[in-house]
């Protein structure tokens, strides 16, 4: 069950990815620390931590997610580059890459520039503004088809950055919240480079 839920989470991440050709965020550089709480039927509630790295207004973006499964801790690295979504289990030195252009039903969500096509596709509705972490966020509700399931989500967005999201997947709840925002900080260049010792196998998109 947990593995299925994580697959849906990754599919939603892909939906919000872009081809690094347009400005996505209103801040040039930032590091966001986040916690994700999964409250799923049949498993113990778990909190997953992650760090998101952003540079050049989102033209460069990657994330590290730290989690445990079956008693083992591991790090998942994700990055959007050259039209691909890369994801890797660092310890296993194995990863996958998805060609976003090959996704027939794919539409990227850029909260700084929401097109009518994207709004209609994901049934995006504005639900006013709300403070979160001291930031005035625009609140959205949307519906996403991922991994054969419909995900209902509410997202709190500041400067194009989702600071909080709440998703319902087949009766299971996933809540992601930023716990710290560092703006204008220098980010090590290796955070935007693919790990050299990881083999990335190209897979067919499944959205």
Residue-wise pLDDT for 34-85, tens only, equals 998 887 656 666 788 999 999 999 888 999 998 876 677 889 999 988 878 8
Comparing C-alpha atoms, which of 184, 149, 187, 185 is closest to residue 168? 149
pLDDT at 139 over 90: yes
What separation in angstroms does the CA of 120 have from each of 32, 115, 170, 175?
29, 9, 22, 24
User: Can you read off the two tokens belonging to residue 57?
Assistant: 């207004």
DSSP 8-state assignment for residue 13:
H
Both tokens of 64, joined, read 């590290």
Range of lowest pLDDT (3-7, 55-59, 194-198): 3-7
Which residue stretches of the chain are H helix?
A: 2-15, 116-121
Q: What is the pLDDT of residue 35?
A: 93
Which pLDDT value is given to residue 147? 62
The pTM of this model reads 0.85
Q: What is the pLDDT of residue 168?
A: 84
DSSP-assigned beta bridge partners for residue 152: 143, 168
Asked if 138 and 129 touch (Cβ cutoff 8 Å), the reply is yes
Residue 156: pLDDT over 70: yes
**Residue 45 DSSP code:** -
Query: pLDDT tens across 85-107, in order?
Result: 899 988 888 899 988 777 655 66
Please compute the mean of the pLDDT values over residues 144-162 and round it to a whole number: 85
Q: Which residues pair with 80 in a beta bridge?
A: 85
User: Which residues does residue 67 pair with via DSSP β-bridges, in sequence order?
Assistant: 74
Displacement of CA 187 from its chain's centroid (Å): 19
Residue ranges of domains in the chain, CATH in brackets: 2-203 (2.50.20.10)
């Amino acid at each position: 069950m947990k593995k299925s839920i994580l697959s849906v989470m990754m599919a939603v991440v892909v939906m919000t990815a872009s081809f690094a050709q347009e400005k996505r965020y209103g801040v040039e550089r930032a590091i966001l620390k986040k916690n994700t709480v999964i409250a799923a039927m049949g498993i113990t509630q778990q909190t997953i931590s992650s760090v998101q790295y952003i540079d050049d207004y989102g033209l460069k973006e990657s994330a590290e997610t730290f989690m445990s499964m079956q008693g083992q801790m591991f790090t998942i690295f994700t990055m959007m580059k050259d039209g691909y979504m890369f994801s890797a289990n660092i310890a296993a030195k194995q990863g996958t890459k998805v060609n976003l252009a090959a996704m027939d039903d794919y539409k990227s969500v850029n909260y700084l520039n929401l097109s009518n096509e994207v709004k209609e596709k994901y049934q995006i509705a504005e639900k006013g503004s709300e403070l979160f972490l001291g930031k005035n966020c625009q609140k959205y509700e949307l519906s996403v088809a991922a991994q054969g399931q419909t995900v209902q989500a509410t997202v709190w967005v500041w400067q194009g950055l989702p600071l909080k999201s709440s998703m319902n997947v087949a009766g299971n709840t996933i809540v992601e919240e930023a716990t710290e925002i560092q703006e204008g900080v220098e980010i090590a260049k290796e955070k935007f480079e693919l790990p050299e010792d990881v083999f990335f196998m190209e897979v067919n998109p499944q959205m």
